[in-house]
Amino acid sequence: MTPDEFRRAAHELVDWIADYRARVASFPVMAAVEPGAIKEQLPRTPPERGEAFERILADVDRIIVPGLTHWPHPSFFGYFPSNGHLSSVLGDYLSTGLGALGLSWQSSPALTELEEIVTDWMRQMAGLSGAWSGVIQDTASTCTLVALICARERGSDYSLARGGLQGEARPLVVYASAHSHSSVEKAALLAGFGRNHLRLIPTDDAYGMRAQALLDAVRRDVDQGLRPCAVVATTGTTGTCAFDPVGAIAEVVRGTRMWLHVDAAMAGSAMILPECRALWEGVEGADSIVLNPHKWLGAAFDCSLYYVRDAEHLVRVMSTNPSYLRSAVDDRVKNLRDWGIPLGRRFRALKLWCLIREQGAEALRARLRRDMENARWLEAQVRAAPGWRVLAPVRLQTVCARHAPPGLEGEALDRHTLGWVERINRSGRAYLTPAVLDGRWMARVSIGALTTEEADVAAVWSAMREAAEGSIKRSHRDA
């Protein structure tokens, strides 16, 4: 494909993307396909001969789009907002088109230096002190794994340079809230701690970690000859957007060798709002933070920021220095391969840079405030409606609701909840991802897609009432 063939196809493509974004509200939110339905339409063997890009794009329309759940849809309330703002999409287009690779500073100096600049912009926007250094990783799962490996190496005084975890006599232990994300458990297991050395600490009424329970667990482990190694504090849990008390947890680890990692993957974006920062008060007492601009803030996926206070330790754990990667300036530059797991790196800074520049911090703050206001509006509606309950404090943009009319409880209530949520999802009108809270299913309404306005939140609330209350009426009538 020559640059001129690319030019023609790319013009067609970006028109197609602009059209897609403009008409996204017209699609059913959730893909209405059965498992295997997409595969059935695709050839099982690779083509010998090339074909025109137009034909590929036609297949995207015909086969791929019907198999998408539409994350940019204004009625997407599932999981968490994962916004690829169009300005950030352009930044990513630059990155892919340039094809520059960051193996070392020298392999593309601008890639490294722009990353230093924009991660520092984001640090300032989130109100963090100058003690933090940032780097872009792919996802929070990876950042948390990196954090726990760094904790392991500090706690074991660099066991990797000796026998690894295999040479350690006194096991290291990791602590996290019982509401922490599944990636925390996964990271602890992948890093070799073992499930027996992971403590899930109970939470309070608002689903935040109980700092006293953490302290008790740490003391018990010390008494038993174990070594408390790391705490993961979550600021904005996935289930209910609950906040662990970072300040109180920081007090527990202070003066010990324990590592405090703050998982602010989703809610970290909210820290660009000064009025939200009380929610992670004490964060300066942490050792590492993960914050994903590719969620609510609007950077195109993947753009996960990992901040550390002791960059030297990170590099000591992650560094490699083979001859084929050395350059004459290595002592004067950052080689970001030593700040994470992968060696190769895309020019990801461009997509965050384009987002922040094209939008400006002011517009980003205004959008997040819009979403929080919409969440408060929905919260008020749910509270006021008979038979409905709000199940957790609405701190930011997640509303946890359950329709529990009198007489409906236990497994019948679960069937009711999963039933009405599934009916909404299948209708294509809106998309919600339910979750279990205190042993029972509930509906999560995670607000914050770029296109979601007050009217869309009002519409999902109507859909919820219809789907939940209507089914009760029907079952009464049928009985």
Is 219 within 8 Å of 253 (Cβ atoms)? no
DSSP bridge pairs for 289: 262, 307
35/410 with CB nearer a copy of itself: 35
- The β-bridge relationship of strands 76-77 and 431-432 is parallel
**Maximum Cα interatomic distance, the chain, rounded to a whole number of Å:** 81
112/211 with CB nearer a copy of itself: 112
d(C-alpha 103, C-alpha 106), whole Å: 8
52/206 with CB nearer a copy of itself: 52
d(C-alpha 351, C-alpha 99), whole Å: 14
Report, in Å, the least distance between residue 212 CB and a copy of itself. Answer: 26
138/244 with CB nearer a copy of itself: 138
282/393 with CB nearer a copy of itself: 393
Cα 37 to the center of its chain, rounded Å: 29
Report, in Å, the least distance between residue 330 CB and a copy of itself. Answer: 10
Report, in Å, the least distance between residue 233 CB and a copy of itself. Answer: 18
Q: 232's torsion region: left (phi>0), alpha (psi -120 to 50) or beta? A: beta
239/245 with CB nearer a copy of itself: 239
Question: Of 61, 47, 56, which Cα lies nearest the Cα of 17?
Answer: 61
Report, in Å, the least distance between residue 58 CB and a copy of itself. Answer: 12
d(C-alpha 204, C-alpha 222), whole Å: 24
Q: Which amino acid is at 199?
A: R
74/239 with CB nearer a copy of itself: 239
248/401 with CB nearer a copy of itself: 401
d(C-alpha 230, C-alpha 327), whole Å: 35
Question: Of 40, 76, 86, 34, which Cα lies nearest the Cα of 445?
Answer: 76
Report, in Å, the least distance between residue 301 CB and a copy of itself. Answer: 6
121/377 with CB nearer a copy of itself: 121
Report, in Å, the least distance between residue 478 CB and a copy of itself. Answer: 23
d(C-alpha 442, C-alpha 196), whole Å: 30
Report, in Å, the least distance between residue 340 CB and a copy of itself. Answer: 9
Report, in Å, the least distance between residue 386 CB and a copy of itself. Answer: 27
Q: What's the token pair of residue 90?
A: 């352009």
Is 463 within 8 Å of 29 (Cβ atoms)? no
Report, in Å, the least distance between residue 450 CB and a copy of itself. Answer: 9
Phi, psi of 44 (to 5 degrees): -85, -15
Q: What's the token pair of residue 42?
A: 């695709």
Which residue carries 């980003």 as its tokens?
364
Report, in Å, the least distance between residue 402 CB and a copy of itself. Answer: 14
Phi, psi of 442 (to 5 degrees): -140, 170
248/449 with CB nearer a copy of itself: 449
Radius of gyration of the chain from its Cα atoms, rounded to whole angstroms: 24
Is 244 within 8 Å of 212 (Cβ atoms)? no
d(C-alpha 131, C-alpha 473), whole Å: 59
Report, in Å, the least distance between residue 9 CB and a copy of itself. Answer: 6
Phi, psi of 324 (to 5 degrees): -70, -5
Report, in Å, the least distance between residue 174 CB and a copy of itself. Answer: 10
SS3 136: strand
d(C-alpha 272, C-alpha 295), whole Å: 14
Cα 205 to the center of its chain, rounded Å: 24
20/377 with CB nearer a copy of itself: 20
d(C-alpha 250, C-alpha 71), whole Å: 36
8/473 with CB nearer a copy of itself: 8
